[in-house]
Chains A and B, each alone.
Chain A
Amino acid sequence: MDLTVFAQQIANGLVNGMAYVLIATGLTLVFGVLRIVNFAHGEFYMLGAYLTYFVGTLAGVDYITAVAIAAVLVAGLGIAANKLIFWPLRRDHEFTILLSSLGLALLVANGGELLFGADPKYVSSPFADEIVDIGTVTLTQQRALIFIAAVLALVAVYLFIQYSRFGKMMRATAQNPDGAALTGINIGLVHTYTFALACGLAALSGALVGPTVMIFPTIGNWAVLKGFIVVIMGGLGSIQGALFAGLLLGVIESLGGGYISLGFMEAIGYAMIIAVLLWRPSGLFSTARGLR
């Protein structure tokens, strides 16, 4: 086995994996705190990529600013979605919540097709054509940026949840919403901002990955599926699980694509969750309830 190629595959896998981790962290946060399995999560990824495109081309601002604006705008849309759909339904059965999130996903994806058109678009980024060499590994600057930005975002989220006052409120709500409410925590506020944070992370992922691929309104499907695989494999509600499983999925897909078959690359990822779930039905880092 050629070691250079192998190292390159691993690096590619880690970059892809980091994007999955960003998507999955939002999913797992929303599940941990709000107890929602959000099928519409991928749509916020799609919106992140599209808003970056529109802000970048129409408003003419540079790429990094466009990414930031897109993430904030999508977080705002997340607040609206939570207020209109998920907050009123919070006491309903999980069946209802699951189905309404599916409804929202279809609504946004097809609404996106209506608004943005079905033809693929290219997000332009000044980093897309430049490369960096790290030892024997070569990456485009954009892909290096995905990795670095994702790591920074995840560290920030981790520190925020672990040490900030609001992060403690989030963890308290995740552990026991009624108990948290009794100690005076505003559950509505926690739900709103957790959902917004999750949507912002999804949008960030979409905005970062956007310049490396073509974007079209149905990429949300793809994103939510990857996110789900990661979250299920890592254990619903666990951030460490999402990190580990996301990187693992990225690397395995990359190696599978390189050494077995590109076409079946996707199927390899799915086959992986099944293997994991047969062994541990609730995921590698399962949490019975709450964030860890």
Chain B
Amino acid sequence: MNNQIVTLGAVLALGTLPFLAGNAYLEHLLVLWMLYALLALSLNIIIGYLGELSFGHAAFVGVGAYASAIVSTQLGVPPLLGLPLAAAAAALFGLVIGYAALRVVGPQFAILTLGFGSILYTVTNHWVDLTRGPMGISNIPPLSLGPVTFTGARETYYLVFALVLAVAYLCHALVTSRTGRAFIAVRENAPLAASLGIDVFRTKLLGFVAATAIAGVGGAIYAHYIKVITPDVMGVHNVAALIIIVIIGGRGTIVGPILGALVYIGLLESLRVAGPLRMVIFAALLTGTVVFLPGGLVSLWHRWRGGPRAASDATAPAGSLPTAEGGAK
């Protein structure tokens, strides 16, 4: 009950934020926050619930972005139709790549996804006929839904915010559902899960494809909002950004990635003067979080609320990862 009130309050507060922002720059940052929250939530399905580390997630963001950008600029398809198309394209790539990569676990999976991500990046960079290579695609038309055109930051904010809410609800529903429990079981102990009749490979593939589809939608919205897309969106930089967001916020939670995205965008902008030093700070934050705060920022809240005992209970999903996967090999 108490939780519901807090959630409702948070949603209302987030809903009124664009009106409090006051200027276009802050509104733009809010959109970026929500976009990264959406992408981080999708990556969190893989990292947090499946317990695998994907180093290729940004590639699927790029696939969605390019799919929607190409069909809307070259074929004249209405951008709104581009969104499901982007989801389908990213999910298709996710299916093929997941089918190959999910045969291995742990470090091998991380490296394989990194390799797949690099293939997609290289191909995007060199297939100039289709993607215009490093020049990128520009003049991407904005999304529109009937009379509403999502050109400005405020409209886009509400669109992405709605998607973030939907995905957050989906994750919440997932964790409490039979499928979600299967995810957790696979994460905690794959052989045991298999012995209970869970198809480990299919469960992982399902989660992976769902995550890539959401990433594709996020990428498409990004492309239509920024109006320009280059292969950089699939680069190592973005891969690292998404992982940093999920880990700093708190993997395996719903609030974590949203909070992590706020920290990332906030620091990225407020430290703009620092230049390359920014990534050094993020790298230090990542390493520091991994070592000292494995549950991420979210676990601070539980620590503060319930003292050390409750903290260990509340962060159990994230905190128990270490022991879990050792047995899953």
Chain B, residues 237-276, CB within 8 Å of chain A (1/0): the string is: 0001001000100000000000000000000000000011
Most buried by B among A266, A267, A273: A267
Complex Cα–Cα for A118 and B276 (A): 9
Contacts known (A106-B286, A107-B284, A110-B283); A271 close to B119, Cβ less than 8 A: yes
Contact with A along B274-297 (1 / 0, CB 8 A): 011111101110110011001000
Contact across chains for B280 and A221 when beta carbons are under 8 A apart:
no
Minimum CB–CB distance from A137 to chain B (whole Å) comes to: 28
Q: How large is the interface on B (under 10, 10 to 19, 20 to 34, 35 or more residues)?
A: 35 or more
Which one of A4-12, A147-155, A275-283 is at the B interface? A275-283
Chain B, residue nearest A115 (CB): B276
Interface of A: prevailing SS? helix
- On chain B, the residues within 8 Å of A106 by CB distance are 240, 279-280, 282-283, 286
User: In whole angstroms, how far apart are the Cα atoms of A88 and B112 in the complex?
Assistant: 27
Q: Is B103 an interface residue (CB 8 A)?
A: yes
Residue B325 at the chain A interface, CB threshold 8 Å? yes
Q: Which residues of B contact A236 (CB under 8 A)?
A: 107-108
Interface pair A103/B286, CB less than 8 Å apart = yes
Given A85-B287, A93-B326, A99-B53, the answer on whether A267 and B122 have CB atoms closer than 8 Å is: yes
Contact B108 A263 (CB under 8 A): no
A232 on the B face (CB < 8 A): yes
Q: Which residue on chain B has the smallest CB distance to residue A274?
A: B100
Bound state CA distance, A110 and B323, in angstroms? 32
Q: Are A95 and B115 in contact (CB under 8 A)?
A: no
User: Cα distance A89–B108 when bound, in Å?
Assistant: 20
Which A residues are CB-close (under 8 A) to B294? 96
Contact B112 A102 (CB under 8 A): no
Interface of B is mostly: helix
Cα–Cα, bound, A114→B106 (Å): 32
B236 at the interface (CB under 8 A from A): yes
Q: A225-B115, A267-B119, A282-B104 are in contact. Are A96 and B322 (CB under 8 A)?
A: yes
CB neighbours (8 Å) of A232 from chain B are 108, 111-112, 115
| Residues of the A chain whose Cβ atoms lie less than 8 Å from the Cβ of B323 | 93
Instruction: Write the nearest CB–CB distance from A284 to chain B, whole angstroms.
Output: 14
Given contacts A98-B53, A99-B243, A232-B112, contact A92 B322 (CB under 8 A): yes
Given contacts A94-B106, A94-B107, A106-B286, contact A266 B243 (CB under 8 A): no
Beta-carbon contact of A274 and B276 below 8 Å: no
Q: Mark A217-260, 1 if CB is under 8 A from B, else 0.
A: 00001000100110110001000000000000000000000000
Q: Tell me if A274 and B115 are in contact (CB < 8 A).
A: yes
B118 at the interface (CB under 8 A from A): yes
Q: What residue in chain B is nearest A112 (Cβ atoms)?
A: B276
A62 interface hit (Cβ, 8 Å): no
Flag if B287 contacts A107 (CB, 8 Å): yes
Q: Which of B45-80 contact A (CB under 8 A)?
A: 51, 53
A104 in the interface (beta carbon within 8 A) = yes
Q: Which residues of A contact B290 (CB under 8 A)?
A: 96, 99-100, 103
Do B325 and A94 touch across chains, with their CB atoms under 8 A apart?
yes
B202 within 8 A of A: no
The reply to whether the CB of A158 lies closer than 8 angstroms to some CB of chain B is no
Q: A98-B53, A99-B286, A100-B290 are in contact. Are A37 and B240 (CB under 8 A)?
A: no
Bound CA–CA A37/B284 (angstroms) = 19
Q: Is A179 an interface residue (CB 8 A)?
A: no
Task: Contact check, B111 vs A267: say whether CB atoms are below 8 A apart.
Answer: no
Q: Are A267 and B108 in contact (CB under 8 A)?
A: no
A111 interfacial by beta-carbon distance below 8 Å:
yes
- Do B280 and A100 touch (CB < 8 A)? no
Asked whether B103 lies within 8 Å of A270 as measured between CB atoms, the reply is no
**Which residues of B lie under 8 Å from residue A270 when comparing CB positions?**
115-116, 118-119, 122
Is B103 within 8 A of A277, CB to CB? yes
Least CB distance from A211 to B in Å reads: 25
Report if A277-B106 is in contact (Cβ < 8 Å); known contacts: A99-B243, A270-B115, A270-B116: no
**In the assembled complex, which residues on chain A have CB atoms less than 8 Å from the CB atom of B110?**
37, 98
Min CB distance, B50 to chain A, in Å?
12
A275 to B291, CA, bound (A): 36
* B243 & A95 in contact (Cβ 8 Å cutoff): no
Chain B hits for A274, CB < 8 A? 100, 112, 115-116
Asked if A129 is at the interface (CB within 8 A of a chain B CB), the reply is no
A161 to B235 Cα, complex, angstroms: 38
10 contacts between A and B (CB under 8 A): A95-B53, A102-B243, A103-B284, A110-B279, A113-B276, A114-B275, A221-B236, A232-B111, A264-B123, A274-B100
**Nearest 5 A-B pairs (CB), nearest first?**
A103-B287, A93-B322, A106-B283, A263-B126, A37-B107
Beyond known contacts A228-B114, A264-B122, A273-B112: 10 more, CB 8 A cutoff: A93-B323, A96-B291, A100-B291, A103-B287, A105-B283, A107-B283, A109-B279, A114-B277, A264-B126, A267-B122
